[in-house]
Structure 1
Amino acid sequence: MLPTEHRLRRREDFATAVRRGRRAGRPLLVVHLRSGSTDPHAPGESALPVRAGFVVSKAIGGAVVRNLVKRRLRHLIRDRLDGLPPGSLVVVRALPGAGEASHDALARDLDAALQRLLAGITPTEGKGRAPR
């Protein structure tokens, strides 16, 4: 289980991570990372915990499958919190193949996405747009 202080709950926090963070996509999931920042709602706080949230839509499957995917992702991210910068916001969005994927496959994709984000490589840079 992911401890309460490490959970993203507010819509604004999800939006901040997705809109202002960097993104790395893999076949089973997309990870958004907003590097460590201070919380504007808690003046004087500088060493905030890493917080993570999950988006698992109905495209993944029924309620049982979605909950299974969320439980697996929570377990995987819990083991990786120490490797992320303090105060970071992480949003993991499961893609349709995640419902049939094994725990190990989800772990591989999560590790690869986090490694790309922590290395400072943005996978969308220079891709998908023609030079002008």
Structure 2
Amino acid sequence: MLPARHRLRESADFSVAVRGPRAGTRLIVVHANTTDARAGLPPRVGFVVSKAVGGAVVRNRTKRVLRHLMTARTALLPQGADIVVRANPAAAGADAATLAADLDRALPTVLRRLKARA
């Protein structure tokens, strides 16, 4: 499970994060932005899984898989980074390995773009 200090919860935080650079694949889009890294804030992650992905069971399963995958990758994130992972409708039929591959493809790209922007 993703520790509480690594979770995005406020709507305003999501809004700020999605205004930053993004990288996407067929299954997911990863948005990133930074807060004040000097304050020693840990990286935070949020998830957006709309009704277009499927019913409640499918959405929650997709969210759980993405949360589990991001838990293993929080050590790769820079201090003060806010990451939003948005699932596309095709993510509903994807298995965990496919979602992991797409996440491993999109996450470095968005982090590189975030670093270049700073």
Unaligned segments of structure 2, at least 5 residues: none
Question: 1:53-72 to 2 correspondence within 5 Å?
Answer: 53-72=46-65
Instruction: Name the CA distance, whole Å, in 2 between partners of 1:93 and 1:119.
Output: 18
Match of residue 42 from structure 1 = none
Corresponding letter in the other structure for 1:60: V
Q: Secondary structure at the match of 1:119?
A: helix
Instruction: Name the CA distance, whole Å, in 1 between partners of 2:84 and 2:17.
Output: 7
The percent of aligned pairs where both chains have the same amino acid is 54
Corresponding letter in the other structure for 1:16: V
Q: How many residues align?
A: 114
Output the aligned Cα RMSD. Answer: 1.5
Corresponding letter in the other structure for 2:41: L
Instruction: Name the CA distance, whole Å, in 2 between partners of 1:96 and 1:18.
Output: 18
TM-score (norm 1): 0.82
TM-score (norm 2): 0.91
Instruction: Name the CA distance, whole Å, in 1 between partners of 2:32 and 2:111.
Output: 9
Higher fraction of helix: 2
Would you identify which runs of 4 or more consecutive aligned residues in structure 1 move more than 6 Å?
none
Match of residue 86 from structure 2 = 93
Pick the structure with greater CA Rg: 1
Unaligned segments of structure 1, at least 5 residues: 40-44, 122-132
